[in-house]
């Protein structure tokens, strides 16, 4: 059970959506959400984020299929996901997140992270891996995903979800409209996220990105990928 007398609307909406999915694979996510200690002291609110991508939020909120997610989008603290040199500005300026629970969210947790994710039109989040298992639930809009180097792309729309197991390579792409997602991460929340790219001379490489809680992710190094690592991440 969630450690609280009252279940916040965002958490209730997310648990309802996972229950409706009726997929055995989502159980670990539901179980982790149920263990969030809502009686712990909340982190203080942050100043309202002033950022061009926030202009998309009002339209996305109006289109949200569940008003409980819309209310959370207005209540939670938004921040930029990535910053620093070497990132396509369409990506770095087109990705925002608002965490309900996790390492920097309203409710502290080191075992599960959950909240909302806003992607502007024309954003491509390149192939990457992370230790945490992940669910995306589309709240508003349409998102294209791809698993593995040679995986076929697929879309999720309002009310649909995708599940990415720990260590699986995947990418995200938006169309001509923005997208609002709810997300859940279960696993090592502090481990690096690895971005993949193919070098013409050195083959596939991966770059490590680390996040200090409450700050954007920062690039920390690059290394080659072995054939076994590529195979394992494509399963």
Mean of pLDDT over the chain: 92
Domain ranges of the chain: 9-39+50-233
The pLDDT value recorded for residue 4 is 43
User: In the chain, pLDDT over 90 holds for what percent of residues?
Assistant: 77
Residue entry with tokens 């409706």: 20
Q: What is the pLDDT along the chain (235 residues), one digit of tens a residue?
A: 344 447 899 999 999 999 998 788 899 999 999 999 999 999 999 999 999 999 999 999 999 999 999 999 999 999 998 876 678 899 999 999 999 999 999 999 999 999 999 999 999 999 999 999 999 999 999 999 999 988 999 999 999 999 999 999 999 999 999 999 999 999 999 999 999 998 888 899 999 988 877 778 888 889 999 999 988 998 7
Taking 3-state DSSP, the helix, strand and coil percentages for the chain, each rounded to the nearest 5, stand at 25, 40, 40
The pLDDT value recorded for residue 193 is 93
Q: How far apart are CA 109 and CA 189, in angstroms?
A: 9
Contact 60, 74 (CB under 8 A): no
Q: Is 50 helix (H, G, I), strand (E, B) or coil?
A: coil
The pLDDT value recorded for residue 220 is 87
- Which CATH code of 2.60.120.10, 3.20.20.70, 2.40.10.410, 3.40.1190.20 fits the domain covering 9-39+50-233? 2.60.120.10
Residues in the chain: 235
Q: What is the pLDDT of residues 48-95, one digit of tens each?
A: 999 999 999 999 999 999 999 999 999 999 999 887 667 889 999 999
Residue 218: strand pairing partners? 210
């Amino acid at each position: 059970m969630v450690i609280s007398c009252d279940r916040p609307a965002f958490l209730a909406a997310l648990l309802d959506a996972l229950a409706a999915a009726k997929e055995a694979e989502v159980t670990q996510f539901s179980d982790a959400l149920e263990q969030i200690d809502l009686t712990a002291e909340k982190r203080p609110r942050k100043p309202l984020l002033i950022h061009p991508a926030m202009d998309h939020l009002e339209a996305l909120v109006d289109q949200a299929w569940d008003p409980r997610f819309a209310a959370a989008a207005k209540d939670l603290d938004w921040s930029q996901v990535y910053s620093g040199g070497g990132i396509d500005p369409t990506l770095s300026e087109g990705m925002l997140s608002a965490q309900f629970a996790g390492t920097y969210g309203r409710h502290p947790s080191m075992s599960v992270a959950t909240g909302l994710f806003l992607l502007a039109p024309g954003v491509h989040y390149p192939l990457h891996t992370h230790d945490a298992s992940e669910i995306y639930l589309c709240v508003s809009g349409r998102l294209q995903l791809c698993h593995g180097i040679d995986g076929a792309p697929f879309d999720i729309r309002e009310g649909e979800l995708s599940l990415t197991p720990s260590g699986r390579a995947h990418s995200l792409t938006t169309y001509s409209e923005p997208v609002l997602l709810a997300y859940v991460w279960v696993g090592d929340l502090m481990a690096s996220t690895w971005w993949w790219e193919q070098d013409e001379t050195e083959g596939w490489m991966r770059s490590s990105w680390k996040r200090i809680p409450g700050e954007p992710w920062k690039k920390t190094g690059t290394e080659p990928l072995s054939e076994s690592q590529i195979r394992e991440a494509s399963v």
